Amino acid sequence: MTHLTLGGMNLKDKGAAKVAGGLAIVAVLLSGCLKTEEFPAVPTIAFKSFEFFGDSASLVISFTDGDGDVGLDATDNAPPFDTASTYYYNLFLEHSEKINGEWQVVQFAQPINYRIPRITPTGQNKTLEGEIAVAIDPFPLYITGNADTVRYSVEMVDRALNRSNKVLTNEIIVP
């Protein structure tokens, strides 16, 4: 049996390549027709996990934001993002301890706030969905000594100053 080859490929292989190429083109065209997921412009967060790592801990939240204005650059330092403003930070943790079965918010001299780096997507679709992990370091030093169980309330603010919902971590038994 003889196979006709064109450019190093026989006709049978050429047909398969054309079908695969055609399917790839159709897939690209259909992906442009797929509806992109839409989220509100106000960020939404959900608690994912809390893990200990010796003398530190990691808190992970998931988030969505419809207009993609999450995070701040080092150049974002003019009001309302200057160091004298509450909005210099964009992720806020509130520490609570369980004492005698009741949760009590603990105010520290230095609040537990973080500055999430800018993560604005490029292109037309600005929606964001992802996870943010923050290191609480040193973790045990935040415990006042009156409790063996703590939890955190977490809230995020975007560049338009939209505040997310507040979420609570699970109860964290201090080692």
- What is the pLDDT, as a whole number, of residue 22? 43
- What is the pLDDT, as a whole number, of residue 30? 44
Q: Is the pTM of this model over 0.85?
A: no
Residues present in the chain in total: 175
Cα atoms in the Cβ-side hemisphere of radius 13 Å centred on 113: 15
User: Cβ(163)–Cβ(42) under 8 Å?
Assistant: yes
- What is the pLDDT, as a whole number, of residue 121? 79
User: Cβ(63)–Cβ(162) under 8 Å?
Assistant: no
Please list the rounded mean pLDDT of every run of 10 residues in the chain (175 residues). Answer: 37 42 46 64 96 89 94 95 96 91 88 90 85 85 73 96 97 84
Q: Mind listing the domains of the chain with CATH numbers?
A: 1-34 (no CATH), 44-173 (2.60.40)
- What is the pLDDT, as a whole number, of residue 143? 65
